[in-house]
Amino acid sequence: MDVKKVVIIGGGFGGINLAQKLSRNKLFQIVLVDKNNYNFFPPLLYQVATGFLEASNISYPFRKFFQDKSNLRFSLGAFERIFPDEGRVATESGDIYYDYLIFATGTESNYFGMENVRANAVPMKTVQDALALRNHILRLKEVAAKETDSAARRRLLSIVVAGAGPTGVEISGMLAEMHKSIFKKDYPELRKEDVQIYLVDALPVVLNPMSKKSQEETLAELRGLGIEVLLDHAVKDYANGTVTFATGKTIETETLIWTSGVTATALPGLPEEVLGKGKRVMVDAYNRVKGSDNIFAIGDICLMDADKKYPNGHPQLAQVAIQQGRNLAHNLRLWQEGKPPREFRYVDKGTMAIIGVNKAVADLPGLHFKGLIAYFLWMVVHLFSLIRYRNQIKTFYNWMVAFFTRDQSLRFILDAKPEKPAR
């Protein structure tokens, strides 16, 4: 039986699970392509941004991960274009030919056409974004500590988080906790009344995908932390240090953290007719791109309407990508063996969000938890979702230090700036 070449574009949840499972079958030669040389865990980016985890805690190099997999190779370089008629993809590192091609490229921040927001807000999609946000927040604290004008100081210390989904809730809650227990010790020059965190969303609820009970409990906890939650407030502009809303309200701030929306990454070479809502690629029940026999899409980037429970497509969650990656690996083997494939059916394992120390909500199938129990459930699920034991051990250690001390010693400003030439 001929060995088939499988090219996977993107090494996130879906891509890495597909590659890992497929590598056990010697009928396939796999090439994973990614613009980074490492896999990282997006749900914990906000803890890197707030200095509670090192970037290495949530990241792992692909080449080290693939060392013992003889039929799996890694290629560094961003995807550029697909040539379906030739069975070829162009990347920054050169052309790669394929028998099967899988897109697992995920999403990018959606600024809804607001160019000032794109230019001035801080997104939360990559490790670089998280480190940039950490540098930005710490640098503004240093400036504010020397500022004598109260209005200027408030503008430096106010933070607006746009998007009240899990990421927005988690980072605003973490920042509020830090202002209460950490920053007041690090920066005794600053006054508590100068600090204000705003969590804003165009929708009338927080944590829209979760249960009403979780939404109500989360809203109460956020306000209890001193966060000003502004619902039904759509951001319309951000320029010259001013966030402007559709309501006409404005907030003066040097920090707008953007977690408000995502859109699928562009895939030049695919026909426009296979793109659905949010530029997601329309696929059949086997994650096969509609109109194609050997091109697939999994995870956040795809839109499947064949799952009866999710006729409008699956939620853009990690578990969907993981399950689709594993199901596609199984189907590729079945196709190679001349057997009928298995349709994808998503198994909802629940959703959860952390709000602060000992504060969390969890919606599991038929069950709801809040407080300390939900907090530890969140920790366990995220800990065991990390890709390697090394990451799990280091993250667990950092969490335990933070849990018992309410502090962490990772608040470094690490801007990569070129050194001045020697004279």
CATH code, residues 4-35+77-109+262-336: 3.50.50.60
Each residue's pLDDT tens digit, 127-169: 999 999 999 999 999 999 999 999 999 999 999 999 999 999 9
Q: Out of 147, 170, 177, 217, pick the active-site residue.
A: 170
The question of whether 80 is a catalytic residue gets the answer: no
CATH number, domain 115-260: 3.50.50.100
Contact 323, 300 (CB under 8 A): no
**59-63, 249-253, 274-278: range with lowest mean pLDDT:** 274-278
pLDDT value at 50 more than 60 = yes
Which pLDDT band, with edges at 50, 70 and 90, does 423 fall under?
very low
Answer whether residue 350 shows pLDDT above 80.
yes
The mean pLDDT value for 225-240 works out to 97
Q: How far is CA 405 from the centre of its chain?
A: 27
- Distance in angstroms (rounded) separating the CA atoms of residues 334 and 30: 17
Backbone angles phi, psi at 94, to 5 degrees: 125, 180
**Chain region(s) in the chain for CATH 3.50.50.60:** 4-35+77-109+262-336
* pLDDT (tens digit per residue) in 309-321: 999 999 999 999 9
Q: Over the stretch 67-89, which tens digit does the pLDDT of each residue have?
A: 999 999 999 999 999 999 999 99
- Where does the chain hold its CATH 3.50.50.100 domain(s)? 115-260
* Per-residue model confidence as pLDDT tens digits over 166-221: 999 999 999 999 998 888 889 999 888 889 999 999 999 999 989 999 999 999 99
